[in-house]
Amino acid sequence: MHKDCERIMLTEDQLRARVKEVALQVDEIYKDKRPLVVGILKGSIIFYSDFIRFLTMHVELDFMAVSSYGSGAVSSGKLNIKKDLDRDVAGRDVIIVEDIIDSGFTLANLKALLTERGAASVMIVTLLNKKDRREYDIAPDYNCFDIENEFVVGYGLDYNEQYRSLPYIGILKRSVYEK
Ligand code: PRP
């Protein structure tokens, strides 16, 4: 375990098993379709790459990078799009793949945006759900793990751009982010 982690919350085995379970459920729903699978950079990259490898349906891949400056007390109510999709989503079935839903600001705004652009459907798949932190009226259609309000890193999630490449989800020591 990395020295900056207090403990491992989700092991590689737990992640693999649950991501597979959820991916197979999603696969069943879209088996005759050709959805656009949209990864939200950067946190979702490892979850995204594991998730799509369990899918048997024909998928197209695309990515967006957004920032959630608007969440919390200083909500601007506006999503900042840093990188937009390469493809037009009009008429497409879209699956948004996200690492974590916290306040819900990012996904509430993204879903509204893609719906406004004419997507035929928008499904939200998340790795982690911090239900108690929700401020916006949005819920994932599929979620791998409900978690408490802990500072988690690894498997794509960062603190100051560190720890994303850890293969497990760890809880960061307080001393790391409180110093
Ligand atoms: C994180 C995460 C979600 C968002 C969730 O992204 O990946 O996009 O915050 O929070 P919310 O529900 O309160 O909107 P972050 O801005 O940390 O960027 P990153 O994915 O590049 O790490």
What's the chain's average pLDDT?
A: 94
Q: Check if 75 has its Cβ closer than 6 Å to any atom of ligand 1.
A: no
| Centre of ligand 1 from the C-alpha of residue 93, in Å | 23
Look at residue 79 in the predicted model and tell me its pLDDT: 86
pLDDT tens digits, residue range 23-67?
A: 999 999 998 899 999 999 999 999 999 999 999 999 999 999 998
Which one of 47, 74, 102, 160 would you pick to mutate in the ligand 1 pocket, going by the greatest count of ligand atoms within 8 A of its CB? 102
Q: Does residue 72 surpass a pLDDT of 50?
A: no
Q: What's the whole-number mean pLDDT along residues 155-161?
A: 97
Q: Check if 164 has its Cβ closer than 6 Å to any atom of ligand 1.
A: no
Which one of 42, 45, 68 would you pick to mutate in the ligand 1 pocket, going by the greatest count of ligand atoms within 8 A of its CB? 68
Q: Does residue 74 surpass a pLDDT of 90?
A: no
Which segment of 22-36, 56-70, 112-126, 150-164 scores lowest on mean pLDDT? 56-70
Q: What's the whole-number mean pLDDT along residues 12-18?
A: 98
Per-residue confidence band for 71, with pLDDT thresholds at 50, 70 and 90:
very low
Question: Within a 13 Å sphere around the CA of 52, how many CA atoms are in the beta-carbon half?
Answer: 20
Measured CA to CA, the distance from residue 79 to residue 66 in angstroms comes to 7
Active site residue 99: no
Q: In what order do the strands lie in the sheet containing 80-83?
A: 80-83, 60-67, 36-41, 93-101, 121-129, 142-146
Look at residue 100 in the predicted model and tell me its pLDDT: 97
The number of beta carbons lying within 10 Å of the beta carbon of residue 86 is: 11
Look at residue 33 in the predicted model and tell me its pLDDT: 92
Rounded to two decimals, the pTM is 0.94
Q: Is the peptide bond prior to 31 cis by the omega test (within 30 degrees of 0)?
A: no
Share of the chain above pLDDT 90, in %: 91
In this structure, what is the dihedral angle of CA atoms 177, 69, 121, 37, given to the nearest 10 degrees? Answer: -50
Task: List the catalytic residue out of 88, 102, 137, 141.
Answer: 102
pLDDT tens digits, residue range 76-104?
A: 567 899 999 999 999 999 999 999 999 99
> Is-contact 35 95, C-beta < 8 A?
yes
Question: Which stretch of DSSP H or E encloses residue 87?
Answer: none
